[in-house]
């Protein structure tokens, strides 16, 4: 797997991200920095794949014998029926963000859950065990987050979502995953629960363009006792991270989770211990919106 002097050869392996939009993605920087740092003969490119082109894109992945791919918005769920196998964690979350091409068999994985778990440990070294969480959102990312929280025996999870029925469905799933109590809540309870939770996780897509007033929770409920994890990130602090820090809370945006989910994908493709520092350095100074 050693790289030639000029970097790319007839043997160079190809991976990439399929998304729409995708031109803002930081994943090529993260992965190519990792490949370079470990002398792995692979390259990572971004492919703008609109929904109607996903099937031909997956056919192309097979035809070109790509080593694998990442999936981002809007493909994480729709890709599942196009693959040969879904690993159990991705199946339970209901979303695939990583494909591994294993001798022609395309296997779907979800590394967002591991990425969140690793990022959370940056703020809470012992992980979720014993802590209570308010999770905002009930899409694919929220399902990965709740899966991790149940896996780690969090004391309690409250789930708030704009569309209540999706929160209710997520909590039904969570009750099948483990013993952590998951309660879907309506807007009227948000203030009380936000004040009570140890950790607040934003897994909605809201957080960059929105003003504090438009944000999902009333930010005046935040205190220095809260830990806040926003999955969103951008060219500066997100609305939630800024408000949380302003009120004395410990807060982190989605960059670290992005790097750690990339690290898990990298391990699946290469079998190597991911060079996380090189991956971080790959996007140092680049702060743009992506997953």
3-state DSSP assignment of residue 56: helix
Q: What is the nearest approach in angstroms of ligand NAP to the Cβ of residue 64?
A: 26
Are 131 and 155 in contact, with CB atoms under 8 Å apart? yes
The position carrying tokens 């979303």 is 95
* 49 vs 257, beta carbon nearer ligand NAP: 257
Task: Quote the CA–CA distance of 88 and 85 in Å, as a whole number.
Answer: 9
Task: Quote the CA–CA distance of 32 and 22 in Å, as a whole number.
Answer: 16
Are 129 and 154 in contact, with CB atoms under 8 Å apart? yes
* 101 vs 161, beta carbon nearer ligand NAP: 161
Closest listed residue to residue 226, CA positions, set 196, 256, 257: 196
Cα 242 to Cα 54, 252, 279: the distances in Å are 37, 9, 25
Show the tokens assigned to 234: 């951008």
Stretch that binds ligand NAP, among 101-109, 158-166, 220-228, 237-245 (CB under 6 A): 158-166
- Answer yes or no whether residue 140 interacts with ligand NAP by CB under 6 A: yes
Which residues on adjacent β-strands are paired with residue 90? Answer: none
- Answer yes or no whether residue 108 interacts with ligand NAP by CB under 6 A: no
* Size of site (CB under 6 A) for ligand NAP: 24
Scan residues 176-205 and list those touching ligand NAP (CB under 6 A).
Answer: 203-205
Considering only 27, 110, 147, 161, the residue that binds ligand NAP (CB under 6 A) is 161
Q: What is the nearest approach in angstroms of ligand NAP to the Cβ of residue 215?
A: 9
Scan residues 29-48 and list those touching ligand NAP (CB under 6 A).
Answer: none
- Answer yes or no whether residue 27 interacts with ligand NAP by CB under 6 A: no
Scan residues 257-286 and list those touching ligand NAP (CB under 6 A).
Answer: 257-258, 261
Considering only 58, 194, 231, 240, the residue that binds ligand NAP (CB under 6 A) is 231
- Answer yes or no whether residue 163 interacts with ligand NAP by CB under 6 A: yes
Can you say whether the dihedral through the CA atoms of 26, 29, 32, 37 is positive or negative? negative
Show the tokens assigned to 115: 């990425």
Closest listed residue to residue 17, CA positions, set 253, 258, 207: 258
The position carrying tokens 């500066």 is 236
Q: What is the nearest approach in angstroms of ligand NAP to the Cβ of residue 19?
A: 10
Considering only 33, 99, 141, 217, the residue that binds ligand NAP (CB under 6 A) is 141
- Answer yes or no whether residue 291 interacts with ligand NAP by CB under 6 A: yes
Q: What is the nearest approach in angstroms of ligand NAP to the Cβ of residue 72?
A: 8
Residue nearest to ligand NAP (CB): 139
Task: Quote the CA–CA distance of 75 and 14 in Å, as a whole number.
Answer: 19
Closest listed residue to residue 180, CA positions, set 207, 199, 202, 153: 153
The position carrying tokens 């099948």 is 176
Considering only 13, 19, 68, 137, the residue that binds ligand NAP (CB under 6 A) is 137
Which residues are known to be catalytic?
76
Which residues on adjacent β-strands are paired with residue 86? Answer: 108
* 4 vs 163, beta carbon nearer ligand NAP: 163
CA atoms within 13 A on the CB side of 44: 27
Considering only 20, 36, 62, 166, the residue that binds ligand NAP (CB under 6 A) is 166
Contacting positions for ligand NAP (CB under 6 A): 112, 115, 137-142, 161-163, 166, 203-206, 216, 231-232, 254, 257-258, 261, 291
């Amino acid at each position: 797997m050693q790289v030639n002097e000029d970097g790319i050869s007839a043997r160079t392996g190809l991976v990439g991200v399929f998304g729409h939009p995708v031109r803002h993605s930081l994943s090529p920087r993260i992965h190519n920095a990792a490949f370079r740092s470990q002398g792995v003969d692979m390259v990572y490119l971004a492919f703008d794949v609109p929904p109607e082109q996903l099937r031909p894109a997956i056919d192309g992945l097979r035809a070109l014998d790509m080593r694998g791919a990442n999936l981002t918005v809007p493909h994480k769920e729709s890709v599942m029926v196009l693959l040969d196998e879904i690993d159990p964690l991705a199946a339970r979350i209901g979303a695939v963000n990583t494909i591994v091409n294993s001798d022609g068999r395309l296997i779907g994985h979800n590394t967002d859950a591991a990425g969140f778990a690793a990022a959370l440990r940056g703020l809470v070294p012992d992980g979720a065990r014993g802590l209570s969480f308010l999770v905002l959102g009930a899409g694919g990312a929220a399902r990965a987050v709740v899966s991790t929280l149940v896996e780690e025996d969090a004391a309690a999870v409250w789930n708030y979502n704009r569309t209540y029925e999706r929160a209710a469905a997520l909590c039904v799933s969570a009750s099948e995953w483990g013993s952590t109590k998951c309660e879907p809540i309506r807007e009227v309870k948000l203030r009380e629960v936000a004040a009570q939770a140890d950790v607040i996780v934003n897994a909605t897509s809201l957080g960059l363009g929105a003003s504090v007033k438009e944000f999902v929770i009333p930010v005046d409920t935040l205190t220095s006792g809260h830990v806040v994890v926003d999955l969103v990130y951008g060219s500066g602090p997100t609305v939630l991270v800024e408000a949380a820090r302003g009120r004395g809370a410990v807060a982190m945006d989605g960059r670290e989770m992005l790097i750690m989910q990339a690290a898990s994908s990298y391990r699946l493709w290469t079998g190597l211990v991911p060079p996380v520092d090189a991956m971080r350095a790959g996007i140092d100074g680049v702060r743009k919106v992506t997953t």
